[in-house]
A and B are shown apart, each in its own frame.
Chain A
Amino acid sequence: MATDYHLDAAEKEEQFAQQQRDFEHELRTDPRYQPYLAGYAPASVEAFIKHYAAHKVNCLRNGPDMVKFRLHQAIEYQEEAYERLFDIQQKKLFDLQVRWRAGEISLPGVAVCQQFMTWEMHIHACPWLPPITPAEYALYCDYLASPACQDVGHHPDHHRPYDWQGYDNMREDWRRTQPNPPADEHLECTPYPAWYAYHDARTGAPAGYPFATHPNRKGERQEHYMHLAREDKWATEGRPAPFVPDPRPLHYEHGSENSFADPPDAYLELIARPFEAFARTFDPDPEPLAAYHRAWLRQQNAHYSHYMQKTESSRELLWDAKGPWPVAAHADWRQGIVGAAQELHRALLLAALPAVFDDYEFRLATGLAPAAPDQYRAYHDAAKPDDDPAEDCAVPEYLERYILRGRELAGEPRDFNY
C-alpha cells in the first residue's frame, strides 16, 4: 500500500537524518577526527563536517546496492552473452521436440509435451542435449551480427523470446498464415523466433519446416486423451459454470499505443478521463487539480507509454558507448535512439561472446558442468538452493493422472507409448 510505503520511507529517512546528526556530532567532538581538521579556518571545517556527514549517510543509503551494481556493471554484457549462448541449445531442443512429436525419436525421460517447457528453464543442464560446437557458435555469431536479429537493445516491438519451446503457440501462429486460418481470435500465438528461422535458412531445412513438414502426432494424441479424461470428470462432477464477463468498463485503461505511429501522448487522455470525471463530481477543488494531474502524467510518460519507456531505456543503454556513437536519421527521434541503441547492444554482445564461449568450452574440456545463466551473473543469490533439473523436468503428476485415465477410457493400456 502506498501509505505503508510512505510511512516506511519517512521512518527510514528520519533514521538517516538522526545518523547524519550523529556523524556531525562525532566529527566535531571525537578526538580521532580532530588532527585531520586542525589548523583550518573554523567556518570551512564546519562546512566540511556537514558535507562529510551527508556523504557517509549517502554511502549507507546507496552503498549496498551500488556494490552489487558495480560488480554487475563490470561484466554486464558477458552475463547477457552467456545467456544468449543457450539460444543455440534452445533451437536444438526445439528441433528434437519437433521430431519427438512426429514420433521419429524418443528422448530419455520425456513422456509429455510439457516437459520441453521445463527443460527450457534448465537448458544448460539437459543431459541428452549435445554441447554447443564451434560451428554452431559461429552460426549464432553470424545471426547476431545480421539484421535478422532484432531482439537487441530495447526495441518496443522486438523483445527476447521467452517461450522458446512453446510449440503449440508457434503452431497457432503458423496456422494463421495458412489457408483456412482458425476463426478463434483468442488463441495464444507466439511468433516463430527469428533465430530459429535464420538457423533453418542457413542449415538448409526443408521448405515449410517444421509445422508443414512434421506432424504433431504425439501432441494431438496427448490432447485427445486429456480431452477424454476432462469430459469424464465433468460427467461425474458437473461442468464448471461458463465465465460471463462483467460488461461494465474497467476503471483504468492501458495499452493505448500499438506502434510508434500513434501519438506519443495517447495514454494521457485515457488516464486523465476517469480521474477528471471523479474530481469534477466529488473533489472540492477540481480545477487546478486536473491541470496538475495532466502535468504529472506528462512527467511520468515513460511510466505509462511503452514506447517512451523503451526509448528511455535505449537512451540509458547508449551511455555504455562511453563516447561517440552514431545515430541514423529518422522522422521520429525515439526510433532513431532505439535503433542506435540496438546497434550498440549488438556490438557489445558480439564483443563479449568470444570470452563466454571460451569459458563454456573450458568448462566442458575440464569436465565441469556449464554454469546456469543465473549463476553466471556477477550478483546472484548464492544461498538459494540449486534446483534439481531431473526432478523439475519429470512428468507432472496431474498430467500423468489425466493422460493415463484418458488411455483407460479409450480402452488402451495405461502407459505413454502412444
Chain B
Amino acid sequence: MPDDEPSLSHLPDDDPRRAAARHREMVRLRAEVLARHQDDPAVREWLRRFRDDGKGFLESYADSRTNSLTAGRNQLEYEQGLDRELAREAKHRLREIQQRKLFAEQVRWRAGETTAADAYVRTAADFQQWGYKIKKCHWLPRITPAEVADYLAYLASPYCSDADPEAMQTDDFQDYDAFRRYLLLRGDGYDPAGVHRRFRPGRLAGEALLYPGWYAWCDQRDGPPNLVLARPNLRGFANGPDDDDADEGDEDPAGIFRPTPPPAPPPAPEPAAPAPPPWLGYPDYAGLIAILMREQETSELRRYHQACLPPPAEPAAPEVAEAERLLNDAGHEAGRRLAEIPERLPIAAAGDWREALHLTWLNHRKQGLAAAIHTAFATHQARQPGR
C-alpha cells in the first residue's frame, strides 16, 4: 500500500502535491478501519475486556494501523535494506583475505620466487585482473576459520577504518606500485604498527585510504621484515605502467630521432558561431534569490526568507568549515541511527561528542559486520565443492 500517489513520484519528496496525497491516503486508510470495525458486534464484545469497554481503542488502532502501513512499512524496508547492505559487505570483506594471499603471491612472483601463480600469470598486470575476479581465483588456498578469526580481530581493531559505509574503500587490492610507494614513503624508520594511516574513521578523516587497512594489519601481525619491502621487484619493471625501461625507449625530449612534421596548414577561418547563452546553475541560485527578494518581493516575504536562511556565522577557513561539516554530519547520522537501536551501547570519553557518538555507532556497526561475516563464511564453506 503506497503512502504516495505513484503518478506523483517524479516530484520532489517535499512537494506540496505529494504531501497532500499522503494526507489524503492517511484519511482513506483511517476511514477504512473505522468503517470495517465500528459496528461489528464481535469487536464490541472483544473490547469489553478493557476499562470503559475500550473507549478510544478503535481510533487509536486506526491511527496505528495507518502509520504502520505507511511510515512503518517504509521503516521496515529501510531496516531490511541496511541488513542486506551489511550481508553484501560481509561477503566482500571475506574476499579481502584472499586478496592479501593473492598480493603475497604477486610480491613473490615479482621477486622471482617460484609460486603457484606461475601457472596462471604471465605479466604483472594479470594479478590485477585476478584481483578483480578474486572469487574465481581457484588456485589460492581456501579461506580457513583461523583466517576469519584473524580478520574479525582486525575488524574490531582501530586498523579497520573503513567500516563506515561512507568511507573511501579501495577496489584495487593488487596495486603493487601504489602500495610499494606508500610503504617506501614511510622511510627508513619503518614501523609496521604505524602503517595504518588513521585511527579516525573514514568519514572524519577526509583522505582516501592509500593502503588497505587489512594489509596494514597483516604487516604488523607478521612483523618485520615487511612482505613488500624485503623483496625486489625484479619481474615487475618489465611490465608495469611505471616501467623504467619502457619509459627510456620513449623518451626523446630533444626530438632528435623524430622526423620533422610537415608544417601545419593555416587554420581555416571558422564561421563565427554565436556563444551559447550562459547557464544559470545552482551555485548562482542563492545570489539571484537574494537579489529578487530585495528588489521584487514584499517586505513580509523578505522577512520570512531571511528567517529561513541559516543564521550568519563567523567565516571559518575552508578546511575548518569542511571539518565542522563532516563532524556535524557524523553526529547527526550517528545520533539518528543509535536512537533506533534498542541496546545499551557504551560511549568513550572524547573532546567532541559528535566524534564519540560516531564511534559508538561505528563500533556497533562493526559488531553487526562481524556477525554478518560469520554467516557469510558459513555460506561460503557450504558452497565449497568436495565437502
Binding site for B on A (CB under 8 A): 1-3, 6-7, 9-11, 13-14, 16-17, 20, 32-33, 36-37, 39-42, 44-45, 47-48, 51-52, 54-60, 62-64, 66-67, 69-70, 73, 246, 248-252, 260, 263-265, 268, 274-275, 278-279, 281-283, 288-289, 291-296, 298-299, 301-302, 308, 311-312, 315, 318, 321-334, 336-337, 340
Complex Cα distance, B26 from A151, in Å, reads 40
Judge whether A73 and B311 touch: CB under 8 Å. Answer: yes
Task: Specify the chain A residue showing the minimal Cβ separation from B352.
Answer: A324
Q: How far is the CB of A54 from chain B (nearest CB, A)?
A: 8
User: Is B351 among interface residues, defined by CB-CB distance under 8 A?
Assistant: yes
Contacts of B15 in A (CB 8 A): 17, 20, 54
Task: Specify the chain A residue showing the minimal Cβ separation from B24.
Answer: A10
Complex Cα distance, B313 from A338, in Å, reads 26
Judge whether B349 and A329 touch: CB under 8 Å. Answer: yes
Contacts of A62 in B (CB 8 A): 304, 308
Binding site for A on B (CB under 8 A): 12, 14-17, 19-20, 23-24, 26-27, 30-31, 36-37, 40, 42-43, 46-52, 54, 56-57, 59-69, 71-73, 75-76, 79, 276-281, 285, 288-289, 291-292, 296-297, 301, 303-305, 307-308, 311, 313, 324, 327, 331, 335, 338-340, 342-354, 356-357, 360
Known: A40-B278, A41-B276, A263-B342. A291 touches B76 (CB 8 A): yes
Judge whether B76 and A295 touch: CB under 8 Å. Answer: yes
Judge whether A56 and B311 touch: CB under 8 Å. Answer: no
Complex Cα distance, B356 from A328, in Å, reads 9
Residue in A14, A250, A295 whose Cβ sees the most chain B Cβ within 10 Å: A295
Complex Cα distance, B69 from A288, in Å, reads 9
Contacts of A63 in B (CB 8 A): 301, 303-305, 307-308
Task: Specify the chain B residue showing the minimal Cβ separation from A8.
Answer: B23
Task: Specify the chain B residue showing the minimal Cβ separation from A330.
Answer: B347
Q: How far is the CB of A302 from chain B (nearest CB, A)?
A: 6
Complex Cα distance, B36 from A278, in Å, reads 13
Contacts of B62 in A (CB 8 A): 2
Q: How far is the CB of A254 from chain B (nearest CB, A)?
A: 12
Judge whether A44 and B71 touch: CB under 8 Å. Answer: no
Contacts of B297 in A (CB 8 A): 56
Judge whether A329 and B348 touch: CB under 8 Å. Answer: yes
Complex Cα distance, B179 from A392, in Å, reads 80
What are some 13 contacts across the A-B interface (CB < 8 A)? A2-B63, A14-B20, A17-B16, A33-B296, A36-B291, A44-B280, A47-B280, A63-B303, A248-B49, A248-B50, A252-B60, A274-B57, A333-B347
Judge whether B305 and A289 touch: CB under 8 Å. Answer: no
Judge whether B347 and A250 touch: CB under 8 Å. Answer: no
Task: Specify the chain B residue showing the minimal Cβ separation from A268.
Answer: B342
Complex Cα distance, B347 from A329, in Å, reads 5
Complex Cα distance, B15 from A14, in Å, reads 10
Judge whether A340 and B280 touch: CB under 8 Å. Answer: no
Task: Specify the chain A residue showing the minimal Cβ separation from B54.
Answer: A251
Q: How far is the CB of A89 from chain B (nearest CB, A)?
A: 34
Contacts of A45 in B (CB 8 A): 280
Q: Which of A282, A308, A325, A333 lies in contact with B42, CB distance below 8 A? A: A282
Known: A3-B31, A298-B340, A326-B351. A39 touches B278 (CB 8 A): yes
Q: Which of A41, A248, A337 lies in contact with B280, CB distance below 8 A? A: A41
Complex Cα distance, B43 from A44, in Å, reads 59
Complex Cα distance, B325 from A323, in Å, reads 10
Judge whether A250 and B50 touch: CB under 8 Å. Answer: yes
Q: Which of B30, B279, B347 lies in contact with A337, CB distance below 8 A? A: B347
Known: A264-B344, A289-B68. A48 touches B301 (CB 8 A): no
Judge whether B279 and A44 touch: CB under 8 Å. Answer: yes
Contacts of A274 in B (CB 8 A): 50, 57
Contacts of A283 in B (CB 8 A): 65
Task: Specify the chain B residue showing the minimal Cβ separation from A47.
Answer: B280
Contacts of B344 in A (CB 8 A): 260, 263-264, 331-334
Complex Cα distance, B73 from A71, in Å, reads 39
Given contacts A44-B280, A64-B304, 4 further A-B contacts (CB under 8 A): A3-B27, A9-B20, A44-B279, A291-B76
Task: Specify the chain B residue showing the minimal Cβ separation from A335.
Answer: B347
Q: How far is the CB of A262 from chain B (nearest CB, A)?
A: 10
Q: How far is the CB of A155 from chain B (nearest CB, A)?
A: 16
Complex Cα distance, B345 from A302, in Å, reads 17
Known: A40-B280, A282-B43, A289-B68. A336 touches B307 (CB 8 A): no
Contacts of A282 in B (CB 8 A): 36-37, 40, 42-43, 46
Judge whether A326 and B353 touch: CB under 8 Å. Answer: yes
Judge whether B280 and A48 touch: CB under 8 Å. Answer: yes
Q: Which of A47, A66, A295 lies in contact with B308, CB distance below 8 A? A: A66
Contacts of B19 in A (CB 8 A): 9, 13
Contacts of A278 in B (CB 8 A): 46, 57, 61
Judge whether B51 and A44 touch: CB under 8 Å. Answer: no
Contacts of A70 in B (CB 8 A): 307, 311
Contacts of B24 in A (CB 8 A): 6, 10
Q: How far is the CB of A261 from chain B (nearest CB, A)?
A: 8
Contacts of A9 in B (CB 8 A): 19-20, 23
Judge whether A312 and B339 touch: CB under 8 Å. Answer: yes
Contacts of B26 in A (CB 8 A): 2, 6
Judge whether B353 and A325 touch: CB under 8 Å. Answer: yes
Known: A289-B65, A295-B75. A326 touches B352 (CB 8 A): yes
Complex Cα distance, B354 from A331, in Å, reads 17
Judge whether A60 and B30 touch: CB under 8 Å. Answer: no
Known: A7-B27, A248-B49, A326-B350. A265 touches B278 (CB 8 A): no
